[in-house]
Homo-oligomer: A and B are copies of this chain.
Amino acid sequence: MPKQESQRILGIDPGSRATGYGVITKNGNRLYYVICGVIRLGDKYSFSDRLKIIFDGLCEVINTHKPTVAAVEDVFVAANPRTALKLGHARGVAVLAALHNGLKVHDYTPRMVKQAVVGYGNADKKQVQQMVRVLLQLSASPSADAADALAVAMCHANQTIIDGEVIIG
């Protein structure tokens, strides 16, 4: 079997109040957990302050954990255009943080992410958390936003595995 390059994937689940991030490495067909977390922004921050904190926070994650590629969840398109506009601001700066640091960005819909991790496109948040915990052999479930971010990274890892299933640990 040919030697496979290792990849370090940053997954991002963007939102204006909570942006989840997670880093995994893929070595051959094996996935390893590196880090995950959530940039949480309460009401004390103005909307534009939040954009800057999301951008700066993700830049720090990238500079610290040195991912080689980014996968960003395509946000749920709300029925309300005003909400979609806000989500767009947050997702725009998240994508930019990756691009600004030289990472190529891949987009995945929530459906693709759930399909890849749970095997079922309509899975709920709890199922995603549970599967992320099991597949990455974590001792506890990450919070929902961090689990979503790890799931996006795992979804991207799946896309680039050619010969067979992901093997964990």
The chain A residues found within 8 Å of chain B, CB to CB, are 48, 51-52, 55, 75, 77-93, 95-96, 99-100, 105
Contacts and interface: CB of A to CB of B under 8 A. Distances in A.
Number of copies: 2
30 contacts: A48-B95, A48-B105, A51-B92, A51-B95, A51-B96, A51-B99, A52-B100, A77-B82, A77-B85, A78-B81, A79-B81, A80-B81, A81-B81, A81-B83, A81-B84, A84-B84, A84-B88, A85-B85, A85-B87, A85-B91, A88-B91, A88-B92, A89-B89, A89-B91, A90-B92, A91-B92, A92-B92, A92-B93, A93-B93, A93-B96
Given A51-B96, A81-B83, A88-B88, 8 more contacts: A77-B82, A78-B81, A84-B84, A85-B85, A85-B87, A88-B90, A92-B96, A93-B93
Contacts of A85: 75, 77, 84-85, 87-88, 91
Contacts of A105: 48
Nearest to A89: B92
Contacts of A89: 88-89, 91-92, 95
Contacts of A83: 81
